[in-house]
Amino acid sequence: MRKLTAGIFITLDGVYEAPGEGDTTLPDKRGWSMPFTDEEVGGFIMSGMAASDAMLLGRKTYQDFAAYWGPLGDENPIASAMNNQTKYVVSTTLDKTDWKNSSLLKGDLTTAINNLKNQPGKDISIVGSGTLVSSLLQLNLLDELDLLICPVVLGVGKRLFKEGGDTKILKPVSSKTYKAGMTILTLQPDKKA
């Protein structure tokens, strides 16, 4: 059975998406992860991409990635991996997908994810898509979560773990702090708890 893994940049105060994109009433906090990302962190990200042959994306991340990575050519290794990998999009508002090798997941999310996990192949990765990651954690569908923790407190933005969800226990599998300051914490949800 394939694993469903997620990797998400997060701040010390739990923010995964900072304001600044289109909201002029809030301070622009984009780019908060860049000072803590270096070649070592890039290597970790690329190894995760190599371990998977499909991506699962939420609507917003899909649209952002398609607009940014889609037009870039195969000479960029990340663009090549993104453009050529199979992509499944979870959305209740999109009617179609235009980015190469992408399709909408239809029907019940739990059934659709379990069907994907039961297909032959490598892991299925989720990049970004914080709302989707949070939902999959609540539905006990996520097998592994990599938190790419940046040593910064933004004080504003969308938080990965919202109030009102069920208590979830996650077991630490590994952690490593990189020279640029980022700590990557790998967790596996305790599905028995």
pLDDT in tens, 122-173: 999 998 888 899 999 989 999 999 999 999 998 888 888 877 778 888 999 9
Asked whether residue 68 carries a pLDDT value surpassing 50, the answer given is yes
For residue 179, the cross-strand partners are: none
pLDDT in tens, 42-65: 888 888 888 899 999 999 899 988
Q: Enumerate domains of the chain plus CATH numbers.
A: 4-189 (3.40.430.10)
pLDDT in tens, 69-87: 888 888 888 888 889 999 9
Q: For residue 109, name the pLDDT band (cuts at 50, 70, 90).
A: very high
- Report the distance separating Cα 34 and Cα 40, nearest Å: 13
Which long-range contacts does 44-50 make (Cβ < 8 Å, 24+ apart)?
A: 44/178, 44/184, 45/7, 46/77, 46/78, 46/81, 48/5, 48/7, 48/125, 48/146, 49/78, 49/81, 49/85, 49/125
pLDDT in tens, 7-39: 999 999 998 887 665 455 555 566 788 888 889
Structure confidence at residue 123 (pLDDT): 95
Q: Count Cβ atoms within 10 A of the Cβ of residue 4 and give its class: 0-12 exposed, 13-18 middle, 19 or more buried.
A: buried
Q: Which residues of 116-136 are buried (b: 16+ CB within 10 A; e: fewer)?
A: bbeeeeebbbbbbbbbbbbbb
Percent of the chain beyond pLDDT 90?
A: 53
Structure confidence at residue 193 (pLDDT): 55
Question: For 108-133, what is the mean pLDDT?
Answer: 93
- Residue scoring higher pLDDT (27 or 68): 68
Which H or E run contains 174? strand 170-177
Structure confidence at residue 29 (pLDDT): 60
Six token digits for residue 44: 């970790």
